[in-house]
Chain A
């Protein structure tokens, strides 16, 4: 059964908000963050109204209830990713923190000078900088798999860069600036063939398609809640249990210990070993609600509808004179990065904003992608399942007006 978009839109109160100068809002910045359905908002609201307490150590009712809801959310993540056990699901404050955790607790203790980390040109800065920090500390080497003019990783080059020196491969699942969906299953197999560990950056991918970590055989997978219609400030690190077990803690503090004396501290079991301090309890519960929401809508319908938006949008963008799409991969999410002749992306962004249309302009935290295409920035319209073809039509009319201003 196809998605009932009008009904779905009613679940997202922010869609009814007004843009600049009280214009009706068109929100095309979903790659930056997504709106939250009422179900997520009411769950976090409920926590703060009825369940405010600290978790894992209270003996009172509120704490026990909140702990149960927090741990229930962990199981929702486990099911979302088809992880084997709850020990493999660590809550963080976002994909960025998950990657930093891996860099500091996996890469830093284990890498030796000359060991290699393989990334790609299309990585987000969050999947570049943490590894560079490790490079400074360990003397390891960072290699970069190039991309072609369509914005796809050149797989032959990727394979050539893999060797016995490669210890970690960290690759984005869906590019936030190009929309490219990478063929990660085969890439993971290739990485394993040389004995490397594969980190999947699913910050964008998590809302694009279901991820089965066992089927992919991926070693680590990270994502943020706020790009999956959940709250900001909460994210996930999935890791195979034996790998997480082998890693030292990332941060010390409460909850990550079994016992503390000044002579010796015994760390807690997984996953708590990596969750020092009071976590974002309401955020985790909200993330659980967002997973329920998305799975309730049904992945199959979401995928079909987003594909439709992608095909429809691509055709419209390709029909604009002087417009160049940056990122035209065969397998793509409805993320449209583009440049216009004679119009700078920032001017596009401000003028569309005046029409109530929210897009992102700039380098999208992917400066190497901009360099690859020889541009300083792009304008990016990123859509998801609550957007419509009608919105795309309105967007296109506004875009033509922008072009008219600079003619």
Chain B
């Protein structure tokens, strides 16, 4: 299987899948939501502890899913930890635009960092939902939604 820039299963994704970061239930937490992908039946929980000033002090997840969804969740927790809620929401928008090819990481300004490894996923429309599940669930938790399903 060839490796090029649009390769979906890059080492960084495989590594996060093998050893996901922040893969634990967070107790106590201020925000929690359960994400569900009806396409494959995957579930995951996202937990956040947000300070009174709106800083995400801790963010974790638990659940089972494909490598894409697990790596995406793991990398999400690493990216938004320490950020403000507004910054996390902004990153969600950028990530979403990356997946739908509305943001070109080569040309457009962004603060995605390593998250650009998901840039090739627009070629696999059926897999976009896998990459976005954790993010939607995180946003759902911040919006006080108990459950989130990818449509």
Please list the residues of chain A having a beta carbon within 8 angstroms of any beta carbon in chain B: 343-347, 350-351, 354-355, 361-363, 367, 370, 376-377, 401, 405-406
Cα distance A346–B14 when bound, in Å? 14
**Are B41 and A367 within 8 A (Cβ)?**
yes
Cα distance A362–B1 when bound, in Å? 23
Given A344-B66, A405-B9, A405-B14, answer yes or no on A350-B127 (Cβ-Cβ < 8 Å): yes
Cα distance A66–B40 when bound, in Å? 43
Cα distance A274–B40 when bound, in Å? 36
Q: B102 at the A/B interface (Cβ < 8 Å)?
A: no
**Are B41 and A377 within 8 A (Cβ)?**
yes
Cα distance A370–B41 when bound, in Å? 10
**Which residue of B1, B68, B130 contacts A354 across the interface (Cβ within 8 Å)?**
B1
**Are B67 and A401 within 8 A (Cβ)?**
no
Cα distance A344–B18 when bound, in Å? 12
**Are A363 and B14 within 8 A (Cβ)?**
no
Cα distance A347–B65 when bound, in Å? 10
Cα distance A25–B130 when bound, in Å? 25
**Are A347 and B68 within 8 A (Cβ)?**
yes
A residues in contact with B1, CB < 8 Å: 351, 354-355, 401, 405
Besides A376-B40, A405-B14, A406-B17, 17 more A-B contacts (Cβ < 8 Å) are A344-B64, A344-B65, A344-B67, A345-B66, A346-B130, A347-B66, A347-B67, A347-B68, A350-B124, A351-B9, A355-B1, A362-B39, A367-B41, A370-B41, A377-B41, A405-B9, A406-B67
B121 CB to nearest chain A CB (Å): 10
**Which residue of A351, A354, A377 contacts B40 across the interface (Cβ within 8 Å)?**
A377
A-B contact pairs, 5 of them (CB 8 A): A344-B67, A345-B66, A346-B66, A362-B41, A406-B17
Interface string of B29-52 (1 = CB under 8 A from A): 000000000011111000000000
B residues in contact with A344, CB < 8 Å: 64-67
Q: B103 at the A/B interface (Cβ < 8 Å)?
A: no
B4 CB to nearest chain A CB (Å): 11
A78 CB to nearest chain B CB (Å): 39
Cα distance A191–B65 when bound, in Å? 41
Cα distance A363–B42 when bound, in Å? 10
Cα distance A350–B66 when bound, in Å? 11
A residues in contact with B17, CB < 8 Å: 406
Cα distance A272–B17 when bound, in Å? 57
